[in-house]
């Protein structure tokens, strides 16, 4: 089942979110508007706004309230992508030129800052102090995750704990608070929004692990960027971490980071990863997180959102893009 088929009852509200996103990046400076829309219109799964809306169903749902949370969190995600592409020197994002590739690093950085500022402005419509405290802490952790990723680039001396902490900060927390803040915005009880946070956290961990697997197993067309691009940019992900238990493979990665012409070596690395057991081991870890997410759902009240949350969790583990 396609992702969009899992929450068709939200189609009208999702269309409203898209319209709000587009309006939120409008400014009197045409270049910033054009650059922001360039990223926005490149598409995306909008997984964070979807979780906000679904979580909102556990309280007194009102799209005019939850839309501010949904837009704000998607803008934070977008801003982080713009900055990521500068750090990674990435030319492609979702099959289209990145902002830094189409313009330059300076425009990209200021566009990311602008999008981020707009997200904070959007959050001012939410009056619950707890929501602001949660989001502020999340943004601190997100920044620390980005710094950790920069620090660990090309570092072969990493362990599983380092990797999991990095993806927790980089990806899982923002998905977790998408679920939590959606519930808080609609007045759901503390017990419910805490359980939704746990659900989102586990799904977020699995989501990033699956992303890291797809970087080797998917096609360039599906990824919208070259296969193995994370490793080419110096990022040690879970499949590579497992594969480096083999000394010969580790030596190849070490060579990859220093040689000028990388095509033949990265092809060998991709072949090894796909033919060994490291993809299966990585999938097993993703499945463990997804099972934890599904177990959390058992503690939540039955409503219209529960089945889509279950289906999305399953989708995360099986997606091919």
* Span 122-138, average pLDDT: 93
pLDDT for 18-63, tens place per residue?
A: 999 999 999 999 999 999 999 888 877 889 999 999 999 999 999 9
CA–CA separation, 79 vs 85, rounded Å?
A: 10
* pTM exceeds 0.75: yes
CA-CA-CA-CA dihedral for 107, 113, 316, 298, to nearest 10: -170
The answer to whether 156 and 250 are in contact (CB under 8 A) is yes
What pLDDT is attached to residue 64?
A: 92
pLDDT for 65-112, tens place per residue?
A: 999 999 999 999 999 999 988 988 888 887 788 999 999 999 999 999
Task: Please name the helix (run of DSSP H) or strand (run of DSSP E) that holds residue 97, with its range, or none.
Answer: strand 96-97
pLDDT band at 238 (very low <50, low <70, confident <90, very high): very high
pLDDT band at 118 (very low <50, low <70, confident <90, very high): very high
Task: Please name the helix (run of DSSP H) or strand (run of DSSP E) that holds residue 145, with its range, or none.
Answer: helix 129-152
**DSSP class of residue 126?**
-
Range of the domain at 242: 3-318
What pLDDT is attached to residue 5?
A: 80
* CB within 8 Å of 83: residues ≥ 6 apart: 108, 109, 112, 146
Quick check: 259 pLDDT over 80? yes
**DSSP class of residue 246?**
S
Quick check: 116 pLDDT over 90? yes
pLDDT for 279-316, tens place per residue?
A: 999 999 999 999 999 999 999 999 999 999 999 998 88
Quick check: 1 pLDDT over 70? no
What pLDDT is attached to residue 6?
A: 81
The answer to whether 154 and 101 are in contact (CB under 8 A) is no
Residue 63, classed as helix, strand or coil, is: helix
Average pLDDT of the residues of the chain: 92
* Span 141-154, average pLDDT: 90
Tell how far CA 243 is from the center of its chain. 24
Quick check: 7 pLDDT over 90? no
Six-digit token string for 179: 């679920």
Tell how far CA 195 is from the center of its chain. 20
**DSSP class of residue 95?**
T
Q: Strand pairing partners for 97?
A: 92
Our count of domains for the chain comes to 1
CATH number at residue 227: 1.10.600.10
What pLDDT is attached to residue 87?
A: 87
């Amino acid at each position: 089942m396609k992702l969009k088929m899992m929450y068709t009852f939200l189609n009208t509200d999702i269309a409203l979110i898209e319209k709000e996103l587009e309006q939120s990046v409008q400014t009197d400076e045409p270049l910033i508007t054009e650059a922001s829309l360039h990223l926005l219109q490149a598409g995306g799964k909008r997984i964070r706004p979807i979780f906000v809306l679904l979580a909102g169903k556990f309280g007194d749902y009102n799209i005019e309230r939850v839309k501010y949370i949904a837009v704000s969190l998607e803008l934070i995600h977008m801003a982080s992508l713009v900055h990521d592409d500068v750090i990674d020197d990435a030319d492609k994002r979702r099959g289209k030129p990145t902002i830094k590739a189409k313009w330059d690093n300076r425009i990209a950085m200021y566009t990311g800052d602008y999008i981020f500022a707009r997200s904070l402005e959007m959050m001012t419509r939410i009056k619950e102090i707890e929501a602001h405290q949660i989001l502020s802490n999340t943004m601190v952790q997100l920044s620390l995750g980005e710094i950790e990723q920069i620090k660990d680039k090309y570092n072969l001396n990493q362990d599983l704990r380092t990797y999991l902490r990095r993806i927790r900060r980089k990806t899982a927390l923002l998905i977790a608070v998408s679920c939590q803040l959606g519930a808080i915005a609609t007045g759901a009880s503390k017990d419910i929004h805490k359980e939704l946070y746990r659900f989102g956290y586990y799904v977020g961990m699995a989501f990033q692990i699956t992303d890291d697997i797809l970087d080797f197993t998917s096609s360039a067309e599906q990824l919208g960027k070259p296969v193995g691009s994370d490793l080419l940019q110096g990022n040690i992900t879970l499949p590579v971490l497992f594969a480096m238990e083999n000394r010969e493979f580790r030596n190849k990665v070490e060579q990859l980071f220093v040689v000028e012409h990388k095509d033949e070596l990265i092809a060998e690395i991709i072949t090894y990863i796909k033919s060994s057991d490291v993809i299966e081991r990585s999938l097993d870890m993703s499945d463990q997180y997804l099972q934890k997410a599904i177990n959390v759902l058992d503690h939540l009240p039955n409503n219209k959102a529960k089945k889509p949350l279950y289906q999305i969790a399953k989708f995360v583990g099986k997606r091919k893009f």
